[in-house]
Structure formats: structure tokens, C-alpha cells
Structure 1
Amino acid sequence: MKVRCLIVDDEVPARELIRMHLSGLKGFEVAGSLGNAVEVPAFLREHKVDLIFLDIRMPGFSGLDLLRSLNGTQQVILTTAYREYAADAFELEAFDYLMKPVTRERFMQAISKYLRHDRINARQERAALAGPAYVFFKVGREHVKVLLSDIVFIEGLSDYIKVHTVTRSYVASEKLGAMEEKLCAGGFVRIHKSFIIALDKMTGYTADQVLIQERSLPLGRLYKAGFIKRVEAPGR
């Protein structure tokens, strides 16, 4: 599985340097390259990104402003020509902090650190999958335990989600992207920018719709190939 990277910098040469460093790495791909931080939230709603290379000083919406707004499903490596932001980067839990111009040696140190971290997370995820089949959702002030086997589909509502189960629905303080990270390695698949479904609850599908129990949900163009691959996989 490839590590999908997003490069965000208002300077074209800086973006191209990061792209060049990434081009020689097996298992990494550039999912996008943006000239400002304002476009990032919309991009992340439409594309899955694992790692963001983010400039700090940009007009209007700075890299630090963006980092504060992210939901934590992506790792962020800050890139800057200014050392004075290191304390802010540490406080906001940036994964790494690269000084411009980013040298190949320093870039590879950051990548090695990321790969070590990713392997540890993968082991933890495999251990979690072997554990109890439930998840807690923050509903108001309460954390509600929901069995994965009870979930029919999850609907994205901007900064919230609506979890539809076999008996009732919950509006929870969570982002759909975070749910995709937690659930889609198992028996769930994202079919649209606004929907994740439980594969075992699906009753059929068409070219642009997924039938799940008595509901018909849209099948998004960007998610169609991944959905078909999961549906046609032996044993899913």
C-alpha cells in the first residue's frame, strides 16, 4: 500500500524539491500539490492522504493555522526557513520539522522516522483487530459503546458523523476520515465522500448506487474502484 503525500507550499520551487525527493522513493506517491493552505480541507474531503509536507509561512492561512484545524488522521511534516516556529510545531505535535532548503539527507531521516512509526501503528492495529469488535463514539458528554456488527452505515455531517445501527442512530463528535482509518481495514468500505458502509449489510449495487437494507446510497466516482475491488475480493 502506498503512502499518499500532499505537498503544501506557496513557493513552486519548494514544492518541486519535495516532489523530487519523493520521486525516488518506492511506496510513496504525490496525491496533490497545493499553493496555499486554504484549499487543503476541501482536498482532504475528496482524497485520502497519509502524510502532509506543509510550509508554515503562507499568505492568509498559515501552515500552523491549518495544523490546528486537522483531525489528526494525517501525519504532518512542517517545512520552513524559520527556526522560531519549532516550539509551536512541538506543541501542535507535528511529526517532524524540516529547515529549507530541505536536503536529501535530512528528508530521508524524516522518511525513515515516518516508516518506523507506521510499522509500529500497523502492529497496534493488527492487535486491535484481534480484540473486541466494538468502538466508542462520543455522543454529547457520553462515550457510547457500539458493536461493529450492529453498524449499518456511517454518514458524514461536516465535523460530525451520524452512525446508523440496526436499532437506532447516533450523532457523534468524529470525522468521517477518522472512521475510515479505524474501520475500513475490516468489514467496512467508503463509497462516497459522505458515506461508509458495512459490507455485510449491503444487499446490492448499481453503477452509481449502493443498496444497503432499505436505503439507496450514492456510489462516488472517486470511491467506485476501491469499492468494486473490496466487493469482488474472495471472502472480502
Structure 2
Amino acid sequence: MISYKALIIDDEPPARSIIRAYLKKHAEIEVAGECANGFEAIKAIKEVQPDILFLDIQMPKISGLELLEVIEEPLHVIFSTAYDEYALKAFELDAVDYLLKPYDEKRFDAALEKVLVKIRTGELVHKQLDPLTVSQQSQLERIVVKKGTKLEVISLDNLLYIEAHDDYVMLHTAGGHYLKSKTMKYFEQHLPENRFVRTHRSYIVNVEKIERLEPYDKDTFLAILNSHCKLKVSRTGYKKLKALMDF
């Protein structure tokens, strides 16, 4: 009897075929779908509601780690990848196991058994961690956001500013704004410091988008990004901008 649904996410058809073949002898697991990229996966996760994800890391457009970051559904995740350098981050994101390609059926079965034990015992599944607890994170080159059942990739060139928004942040671009479950501190630490400055407790600004600075009151200024966007700049933020922009 089928008890659990699995979704396979990998851009390489042979890799998906291997997982599907290894799952054939596990009658309790149904392969509910296959996806070649994260954009397909985010829709499939919503529709299929799988219990288990087999997830590649290095994929076109968005990585498996970026996908996992925006998944809200409770899932048990097994990474399947040819790159061992992501193992620490994968486990810190609550992956159950990390299969390093090429792996054999015995290693696959061991990983699957870990998942089944966790499901049967009701152990906690994947959850989003405070990103500051995840070590060895590289500098951001893009930001992946979820909007409904779709994923969008924001390039840093298109990012105007980030605004504190309760327990989230609002990412503002020329084409719209996006809510993301991250902290201001995270972006302050992981955006290129020569391009993005924490100008105020509520704002991180792309300095390339600043047209000019104007005095606002005794201790603050305004960063003018365009005629419709004027952001407060604190005294400390002004000093940072002055040092970076050399004015």
C-alpha cells in the first residue's frame, strides 16, 4: 500500500531515472512527479503535496538550496548532488541526508530509511532556519523570491532598496516589490558592501540607484532614488555613503 509521496527534482534525466529505479522496490513510496528545475518544482510541491523531496543542488536558474529557502510546506529532504561542498549548509537547513553522486542502491536505501524513520516517529521536518545560523554563506549574487506558486529571481542590478517589514523584509525593484522571510542583518552581511549600504535602521539602499542626497532635518538626510522614492538616511548612514561615494 502506498503511504508516502516523493517528488524528484534534478535537471539531469539520468539522475532522475536512477532515483525512480531505486524506488521501485519500495512499494510504500509513490513517485508523484519529476521536475527539471526549481520553477517547475515550486508549482509541483503545491499541487502534489509530497512527503519527501529528492533534490539536486546545482541546477539552472535557481539552486536546490535557494528552492529550499522559499519552501513553506513541511517536507523531508534528501539532497542528491555531485558537489560535497554544500553538505554543511544542507544539514543546517534540516536535510535528512546528502547523497553524493554517484551513489549505489545500498547508500540510497540507507538515506530513504532515515526519512521513513523520521516520518513514522513524527520527528520534525524541514523548517526555515534563521539564516544567520547558517555558516559559510557566500556573498549574494541574486535573490530568489516566491510569489504565489511561482518563483522569481531578482538580480542585484534591479534591486533598488530593502525595507524592514516586521519579521520580514520588502524587496523593492523597478518592477514591483516582494516580501521575503529574511532579516535586515542577513542582507547587510551578504550583499556586496561596495554596492549596498544600511543607510537607516529601516533601509538598505543600492548606492548605484541614488541620484542625490538632500538634508532632511538636523540629524537626517534623504536619499533620492527617483521622483517617487525618497528614503531617510541616518547620520551613521550618511557617513557610510559619504565614505563610499566620495562626495
Q: What TM-score do the two structures reach when normalised by structure 1? A: 0.51
Q: How far apart in 2 are the matches of 1:78 and 1:88?
A: 11
Q: How far apart in 1 are the matches of 2:39 and 2:73?
A: 17
Does residue 7 in structure 1 map to residue 8 in structure 2?
Answer: yes
Secondary structure of the residue aligned to 1:76 is strand
Does residue 61 in structure 1 map to residue 62 in structure 2?
Answer: yes
Secondary structure of the residue aligned to 1:38 is helix
**Residue 105 (structure 2) aligns with:** 104
1:94-133 per-residue CA deviation (whole Å, 9 max, x = no partner) reads: 11100111210111101111111111118x9xxxxxxxxx
AA at the equivalent of 2:26: L
AA at the equivalent of 1:81: A
Give structure 2 stretches of 5+ with no counterpart: 125-146, 150-167, 169-247
- Cα offset, 1:10, TM superposition: 0.6
Q: What TM-score do the two structures reach when normalised by structure 2? A: 0.48
Q: How far apart in 2 are the matches of 1:45 and 1:90?
A: 23
**Residue 77 (structure 2) aligns with:** 76
Secondary structure of the residue aligned to 1:113 is helix
Q: How far apart in 2 are the matches of 1:63 and 1:19?
A: 19
Does residue 25 in structure 1 map to residue 38 in structure 2?
Answer: no
Q: How far apart in 1 are the matches of 2:16 and 2:84?
A: 19
Secondary structure of the residue aligned to 1:39 is helix
- Cα offset, 1:83, TM superposition: 0.8
Of structures 1 and 2, the larger Rg is shown by: 2
- Cα offset, 1:34, TM superposition: 0.9
**Residue 40 (structure 1) aligns with:** 41
Q: How far apart in 1 are the matches of 2:7 and 2:112?
A: 14
- After superposition, residues 70-219 of structure 1 pair within 5 angstroms as 70-121=71-122, 158=148
AA at the equivalent of 2:79: L
1:74-102 per-residue CA deviation (whole Å, 9 max, x = no partner) reads: 11100111110011102211111001112
Count, aligned residues: 127
Q: How far apart in 2 are the matches of 1:110 and 1:15?
A: 16
AA at the equivalent of 2:93: L
- Cα offset, 1:158, TM superposition: 4.5
Does residue 52 in structure 1 map to residue 53 in structure 2?
Answer: yes
Q: How far apart in 1 are the matches of 2:115 and 2:97?
A: 9
- Cα offset, 1:13, TM superposition: 0.4
Q: How far apart in 1 are the matches of 2:73 and 2:91?
A: 14
Percent identical: 43
Q: How far apart in 1 are the matches of 2:62 and 2:74?
A: 20
Q: How far apart in 2 are the matches of 1:113 and 1:2?
A: 16
Secondary structure of the residue aligned to 2:14 is helix
AA at the equivalent of 2:91: F
Regions of 4+ moved over 2 Å: none
